[in-house]
Amino acid sequence: MKFIVQFSWFFSIILVSYLSLAPRVQIPYEFIGVDKLGHFLAYLWLGILPFFGFARLRVAFTGALLMILLGIGLEFAQYYVPGRNFSVGDMTADCAGVISGIFLAKQTKKRPCFRKA
């Protein structure tokens, strides 16, 4: 099971990186902040998965925190992609998503159904 979660996490990293560096991606919904919501949810996902894919808490925590660096790095890289632009707001949404993901994963793993017998 852990292999499937690890694979999903690595695939998600590749997908988020591709979508971040592809020329302008159209979001089918139009409301203020929809791109920030997308950033938040993507990085929430990237922040949660390591806690279910790695047995050691230190490895999971390190993996999740590295997603903050990924978000910041991709945002700086967008400066050089035609049709994309650098945004501190996107970086903030990425960081908030990862931190929320860490908190949510830790709270979820405290539940009895996730504890080892």
79 in Cβ contact with 85 (< 8 Å) = yes
Q: Indicate the domain borders of the chain.
A: 2-15+36-114
- Whole-angstrom distance, CA of residue 33 vs CA of residue 47: 21
**How far is residue 42 from each of residues 63, 85, 95, measured CA to CA in Å?**
15, 18, 11
Predicted pLDDT of residue 116: 59
Predicted pLDDT of residue 108: 87
- Pick the closest to residue 51 from 42, 43, 59 (CA basis): 59
Rounded to 5°, angle at Cα 56 from 53 and 59? 75
The model's pTM: 0.87
- Whole-angstrom distance, CA of residue 40 vs CA of residue 100: 9
Per-residue pLDDT of the chain (117 residues; tens, 9 = 90+): 889 999 999 999 999 999 999 887 666 667 677 789 999 999 999 999 999 999 999 999 999 999 999 999 999 999 899 888 889 999 999 999 999 999 999 898 776 766 554
Predicted pLDDT of residue 110: 75
Predicted pLDDT of residue 27: 61
